[in-house]
């Protein structure tokens, strides 16, 4: 969008004598119709005018300061309906309206939006001419075939266009209009081909024709242009009758007519210090002085048109700040005229836009507060001073200057092949010296000597006082490979009063050069340096030497004589060292030494009481520049940075990195190549491929405060453009179904100045939402209510404007979100809850009765089970007595075991019953039923297992699980348990003595877990298989054996589920085997362990027999 080029020709100016001589002094002769007749003052002027007309053809060329021009170019690729721009106007918000031969558009500072007249069956023409915007934002359009149109953005698009027919004497329809103008009075003036001046009152819609007395009777004026001065006087340019002034209050008109044959047109007006300037066909710029009633023509000295209008200026504007008239030519470009001096400057389109297709005709120009808009046949162009901060140009010759530096009070330059002294005005190379083909990497100036660092050729120097050819550095003695050194920074220093040079190299480390005796010393890895790759050197305000290494961080030289140093690396430093590659130092001795690394941002070294501080400053740009390779400081303290990605300015006061984009005012646009920035005193010199650009650096302000606010440009509801709502009442009122909408906001200079935006919807967005490229806010499914949308403006320097744009939005609530509906719903809920409560109360009484009946029935069943157990016990005892004497001991033990298995701890049973009763009383039938079911299952398993000496492991584990779940319920889940089985153990095909594990688990519950008061109990049962045995571990985190040990042993001895019974059963298994196969161990674990007690049982591996296959599924035998 940006184009720029240098201006290589000087200004053209007419001598004052010639200009004054050309003036046609007039006197006013009033005719009967009241209009003045402009005539030359006597015949004595005839010969003088002829002579001076020839004199005007001779121009003195003054080669004034040459400059560059940066312009933005908008085309159809940017969103314009067409590149043929017909009219321009700006409204009160700063939005630029654009008419083309293919429709109307506007530019809100972010994007160009086309107004589609053919949408919604409007049926209006898109072939537009000049336009005007009135005080309330309506756009008035002159068309070539449809008369006068008005677009009102306050109305929906389908109703936004109004057609005003133009009739002469209220009969003949006229549609070919050239001009429309919105006056300060609110009236709309317009005209065209043979229409006379027409005036429209927008309030009534009435159109009146204004007739002026003409030289030819019964003719109708063709209106070209209409303008209003500060006094409310209209100036009207016509095609055949020159131009008129018309006072709408007094109805008095004056005609200014050069009475040329054929075309006698006036096309545009500007006003300066009470004078009127007009572009007149074949007379270029004409000036009228009302005080003297004098008309002066041909101020620009243009030739007459060879073909109709081939050498004319269709439009012009006046810049009061520069006191310049800027005129657009039909083909040549722009002419800048200074009325005070008569100087003029012609800027060709080939220079303004070298890539544009020529010829380009300037159709219309628009002056705004910040710059100029040019509407042409090849798109829209924008120029403003902020984009041309550095525009003074010294054109380059065949060997462009790539670096400017100062030696003493003189300026010096360097090109790719040469160097020399430069004149103070930068225009002339005073001397030229060859670099002798040596490729130079860096220039260092010390005193009056220029040192050239080369790539792998050592160091060269040039003494400006002797002005001899450059020479390699003279070295006495061993050179230590200096002839092939890749040199960079050269710093002057002194040791014991002797002058030295420190020379950094990429490949050979650091050199110390004695200026007096020309000897050199090399410090590299062999002398302790971490690396030979020294990228750069720096010196701080304390004269301390710093070395920047490639990959090894930063070195501070502590002792120059003995070469002692301290290293700072990224690993050791948590402050400002963000990379171990140090790229560049600032070359100025201040309290702060700035340096850059291989990453983005800058770091600073400061010292306080010999303590080193390294501070890092982050580059917060979206795309920060990396590897800053040059740091320069201006006299305002700002740092000018060159990186691989471009140029920046860093202000230590604001901590902001300002990227200098090409074509944005300082760095010229591509394809111009920028080599370097030089700061000489207060001058910024930019070395480019087209020459030297320079300016006073004090005039470059990067910290201007914002005081503007955004504008709301578009409003969409469910993809429907309802931007008209933005121009109605202060608060937008929406229906409930319109709760999905999009708000576009912008600023007329947003894209041109890299503005950013932030927005929030109060009550919806928790904080400001920052947006840059697409300033748009989208909201979906908002509930009804009153909202306030806010937007604010910021810049790339991190500053935000205090001005906030607000937009009120009232979203009507849906019927189910209204207050009356919520109240009704609340009453329904209260009634429903009350009814449910009463119903629940009745149902609870029925449940209580059923629970009581179920409890009685359960008590009967438990009593029956108890009697059955007792009867089975008696039967078993009788069977034991009938056994043979040889098996007496074995049978006696088995019957005891069966008796053990057939009995349960009464206290445990009673507690279970109490829990069931509690659930029944609490109406928790579900929990009571679950508890009964578990107890019944446990009782069934106990009864079934009581018939067998050995049972399957799965059945035993099931019993243990039920037992622990009942105990959990009993003790209010004060403990948890886990049963862990080795995956290699087949619990479905192995058996163990029944009820062997349960006593140990019961012991863990009642004598370990039960006494815990400060933590959650935990029981873990682990089963694992070794090579020849089965190991069962019971672990708990209870109080352990040391807690009330006497009481606990007594419990072991008295309870039927004690350790003694388990030990006796294991002894029985050992008696059957020639060697011990079963064992029981009890161990207290250390306090650091997760558990406090561990009981382990070791059993032989016993599998199911064939005879047991019918019982294997139940896991019992």
Nearest-angstrom CA–CA distance, 897 and 13: 131
pLDDT tens-place string over residues 976-993: 999 999 888 888 888 888
Inter-CA distances, 215 with 33, 219, 236, 241, 246, Å: 10, 9, 16, 8, 17
- In the three-class reduction of DSSP (H, G, I as helix; E, B as strand; rest coil), residue 689 is classed as coil
426 bridge partner residues: none
pLDDT of residue 457: 93
Per-domain residue ranges of the chain: 532-660, 711-816, 818-947, 949-1117
What is the average per-residue pLDDT within 256-265? Answer: 89
pLDDT tens track for 519-543: 999 999 999 899 999 999 999 988 8
pTM recorded for the entire structure: 0.65
Q: Are 64 and 91 in contact (CB under 8 A)?
A: no
Compute CA distances 269 → 182, 288, 731, whole Å.
15, 11, 42
The mean per-residue pLDDT over the stretch 236-252 comes to 94
**382-392 core/surface letters (b: 16 or more CB in 10 A; e: else):** bbbeebbbbbe
C-alpha distances in angstroms, 30 versus 35, 43, 257, 258, 1057?
A: 6, 20, 14, 16, 140
Q: Which of 991, 981, 1058, 1072 is nearest to 1025 (CA)?
A: 981
CA 747/CA 756 separation, integer angstroms:
10
Domain 949-1117 has CATH 1.10.4190.10: no
Please list, in sequence order, all residues whose beta carbon lies within 8 angstroms of the beta carbon of residue 828, skipping any fewer than 6 positions away.
none
Distance CA 238, CA 242 (A): 6
Residue 352 has pLDDT above 90, yes or no: no
Six token digits for residue 459: 């160091």
Instruction: Give the list of residues 6+ apart from residue 898 with CB closer than 8 angstroms, or none.
Output: 876, 946, 947
Which CATH superfamily hosts domain 711-816?
Answer: Immunoglobulins (2.60.40.10)
Of 56-65, 195-204, 514-523, 639-648, the least confident? 56-65
Question: At residue 1052, does pLDDT exceed 80?
Answer: no
Euclidean distance between CA atoms 1031 and 1078, whole angstroms: 9
Classify burial at 68, counting beta carbons within 10 Å of its beta carbon; exposed 0-12, middle 13-18, buried 19 or more.
Answer: buried
CB 895 within 8 A of CB 903: no
Check residue 921 and give its pLDDT. Answer: 80
Q: Both tokens of residue 975?
A: 């403990």
Give the tokens for residue 78: 């940017």
Q: What angle do CA 96, 99, 102 make, to 5 degrees?
A: 135
In order, the DSSP letters of 512-578 are EEETTT--EEEE-GGGT-S-S-EEEEEE-TT--EEEEEBSS-EEEEEETTTTEEEEE-TTT-SSS--
Binning pLDDT at 50, 70 and 90, where does residue 896 land?
A: low
- Whether 739 shows a pLDDT value over 70: the answer reads yes
Residues comprising the chain, all counted: 1117
- How many whole angstroms separate alpha carbon 327 and alpha carbon 314? 8
Q: What's the pLDDT tens digit per position in 465-498?
A: 987 889 999 999 999 999 999 999 999 999 888 9
CA angle 337, 342, 345 (to 5 degrees): 40
Helices 888-902/819-881 angle, 10° precision: 160
Going across the sheet that includes 1093-1100, the strands are 975-981, 1017-1025, 1029-1036, 1093-1100, 1079-1084
Average pLDDT estimate for 942-954 = 80
User: Which residue's entry shows tokens 């790229």?
Assistant: 583
Per-residue pLDDT tens over the stretch 182-206: 999 999 999 999 999 999 999 999 9
Q: Angle 1059-1071/888-902 helices, nearest 10 degrees?
A: 140
Strand partners, 800: 794
Helix (H) or strand (E) holding 1079: strand 1079-1084
pLDDT, averaged across the chain: 83
pLDDT at 1014: 81
H/E stretch holding 641: strand 639-643
Q: Homologous superfamily of 532-660 in CATH?
A: YVTN repeat-like/Quinoprotein amine dehydrogenase (2.130.10.10)
What's the rounded Cα separation, in Å, for the pair 690 and 668?
10
* ω into 671 cis (within 30 of 0): yes
CA distance 556 to 572: 14
* Bridge partners of residue 593, in order along the sequence: 605
Per-residue pLDDT at 538: 93
Residue 282 scores a pLDDT above 60: yes
């Amino acid at each position: 969008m940006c184009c720029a080029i240098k201006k290589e020709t000087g200004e053209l100016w007419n001598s004052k004598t010639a200009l004054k001589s050309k003036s046609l002094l007039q006197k006013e002769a009033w005719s009967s119709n009241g209009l003045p007749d402009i005539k030359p003052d006597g015949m004595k002027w005839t010969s003088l005018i002829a002579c001076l007309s020839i004199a005007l053809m001779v121009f003195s060329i003054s080669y004034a300061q040459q400059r560059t021009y940066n312009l933005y170019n908008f085309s159809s690729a940017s969103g314009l309906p067409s590149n043929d721009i017909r009219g321009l106007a700006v409204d009160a918000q700063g939005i630029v309206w654009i008419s083309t031969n293919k429709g109307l558009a506007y530019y809100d500072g972010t994007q160009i939006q086309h107004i589609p007249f053919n949408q919604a069956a409007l049926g209006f023409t898109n072939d537009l001419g000049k336009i005007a915007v009135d005080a309330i934002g309506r756009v008035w359009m002159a068309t070539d075939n449809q008369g006068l149109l008005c677009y009102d953005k306050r109305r929906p698009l389908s109703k936004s266009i109004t057609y005003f027919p133009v009739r002469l004497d209220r009969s003949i329809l006229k549609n070919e209009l050239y001009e429309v103008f919105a006056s300060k009075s609110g009236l709309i003036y317009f005209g065209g081909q043979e229409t006379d001046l027409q005036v429209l009152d927008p309030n009534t819609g009435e159109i009146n024709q204004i007739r002026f007395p003409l030289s030819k009777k019964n003719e109708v004026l063709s209106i070209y242009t209409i303008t209003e001065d500060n006094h409310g006087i209209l100036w009207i340019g016509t095609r055949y009758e020159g131009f008129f002034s018309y006072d709408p209050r007094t109805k008095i008109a004056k005609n200014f007519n050069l009475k040329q044959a054929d075309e006698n047109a006036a096309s545009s007006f500007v006003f300066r210090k009470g004078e009127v300037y007009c572009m007149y066909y074949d007379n270029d710029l004409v000036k009228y002085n009302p005080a003297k009633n004098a008309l002066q023509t041909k101020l620009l000295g243009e030739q007459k048109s060879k073909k109709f209008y081939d050498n004319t200026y269709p439009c012009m504007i006046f810049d009061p700040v520069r006191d310049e008239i800027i005129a657009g030519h039909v083909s040549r470009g722009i002419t800048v005229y200074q009325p005070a001096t008569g100087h003029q400057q012609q800027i060709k389109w080939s220079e303004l836009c070298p890539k544009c297709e020529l010829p380009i005709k300037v159709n219309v120009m628009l002056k705004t507060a910040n710059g100029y808009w040019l509407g042409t046949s090849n798109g829209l162009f924008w120029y403003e001073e902020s984009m041309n901060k550095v525009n003074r140009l010294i054109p380059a010759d065949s060997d462009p200057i790539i670096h400017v530096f100062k030696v003493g009070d003189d300026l010096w330059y360097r090109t790719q092949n040469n160097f020399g002294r430069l004149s103070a005005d930068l225009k002339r190379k005073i001397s030229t010296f060859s670099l002798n083909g040596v490729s130079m990497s860096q220039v260092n100036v010390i005193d009056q000597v220029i040192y050239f660092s080369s790539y792998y050729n050592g160091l060269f120097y040039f003494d400006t006082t002797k002005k001899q050819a450059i020479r390699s550095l003279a070295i006495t003695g061993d050179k230590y490979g200096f002839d092939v050194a890749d040199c960079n920074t050269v710093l002057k220093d002194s040791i014991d009063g002797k002058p030295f040079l420190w020379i950094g190299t990429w490949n050979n480390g650091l050199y110390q050069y004695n200026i007096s005796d020309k000897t050199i010393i090399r410090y590299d890895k062999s002398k302790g340096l971490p690396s030979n790759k020294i990228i750069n050197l720096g010196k701080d305000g304390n004269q301390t030497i710093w070395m920047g290494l490639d990959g090894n961080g930063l070195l501070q030289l502590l002792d120059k004589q003995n070469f002692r140093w301290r290293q700072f690396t990224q690993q050791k430093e948590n402050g400002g060292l963000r990379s171990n590659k140090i790229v560049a130092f600032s070359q100025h001795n201040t309290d702060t030494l700035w340096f850059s690394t291989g990453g983005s941002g800058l770091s600073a070294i400061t010292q306080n009481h010999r303590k080193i501080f390294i501070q890092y400053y982050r580059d917060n740009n979206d795309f920060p520049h990396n590897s800053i390779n040059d740091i320069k400081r201006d006299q305002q303290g700002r740092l000018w940075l060159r990186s691989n990605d471009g140029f920046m300015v860093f202000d230590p006061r604001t901590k902001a990195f300002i990227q200098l984009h090409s074509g944005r005012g300082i760095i010229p646009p591509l394809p111009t190549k920028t080599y370097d920035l030089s700061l000489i005193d207060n001058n910024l010199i930019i070395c480019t491929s087209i020459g030297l650009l320079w300016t006073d650096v004090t005039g470059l302000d990067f910290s201007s405060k914002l005081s503007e606010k955004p504008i709301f440009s578009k409003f969409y509801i469910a993809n429907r453009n309802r931007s008209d709502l933005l121009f109605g009442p202060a608060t937008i009122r929406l229906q409930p179904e319109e709760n999905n909408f999009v708000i576009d906001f912008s600023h007329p200079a947003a894209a041109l100045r890299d503005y950013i935006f932030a927005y929030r919807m109060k009550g919806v967005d928790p904080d400001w939402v920052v947006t840059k490229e697409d300033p748009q806010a989208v909201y979906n499914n908002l509930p009804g209510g009153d909202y306030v949308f806010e937007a604010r403006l910021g810049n790339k320097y991190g500053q935000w404007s205090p001005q906030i744009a607000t937009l009120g939005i009232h979203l009507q609530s849906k019927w189910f979100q209204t207050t009356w509906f919520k109240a009704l719903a609340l009453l329904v809920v209260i009634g429903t809850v009350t009814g449910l409560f009463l119903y629940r109360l009745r149902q609870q009484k029925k449940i209580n009765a059923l629970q009581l009946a179920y409890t009685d029935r359960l008590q009967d069943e438990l009593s029956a089970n108890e009697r059955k157990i007792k009867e089975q016990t008696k039967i078993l005892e009788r069977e034991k007595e009938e056994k043979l004497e040889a098996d007496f001991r074995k049978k006696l033990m088995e019957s005891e075991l069966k008796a053990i298995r057939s009995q349960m701890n009464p206290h445990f049973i009673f507690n279970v019953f109490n829990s069931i009763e509690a659930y029944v009383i609490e109406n928790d039938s579900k929990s009571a039923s679950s508890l009964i079911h578990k107890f019944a299952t446990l009782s069934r398993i106990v009864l079934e297992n009581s018939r067998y000496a050995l049972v399957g492991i799965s059945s035993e584990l099931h019993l243990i699980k039920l037992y622990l779940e009942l105990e959990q319920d009993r003790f209010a889940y004060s403990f948890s348990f886990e049963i862990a089985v080795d995956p290699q153990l087949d619990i479905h095909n192995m058996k163990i003595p029944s009820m062997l594990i349960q006593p140990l688990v019961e012991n863990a519950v009642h004598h370990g877990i039960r006494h815990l008061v400060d933590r959650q109990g935990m029981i873990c049962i682990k089963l694992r298989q070794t090579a020849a045995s089965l190991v069962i571990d019971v672990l708990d985190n209870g109080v352990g054996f040391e807690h009330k040990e006497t009481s606990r042993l007594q419990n072991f001895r008295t309870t039927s589920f004690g350790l003694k019974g388990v030990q006796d059963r294991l002894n029985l298994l050992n008696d059957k085997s020639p060697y011990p196969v079963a064992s029981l161990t009890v161990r207290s674990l250390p306090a650091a362990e997760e558990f406090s007690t561990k009981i382990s049982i070791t059993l032989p591996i016993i599998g199911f027999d064939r005879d047991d296959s019918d019982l294997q599924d139940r896991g019992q035998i």
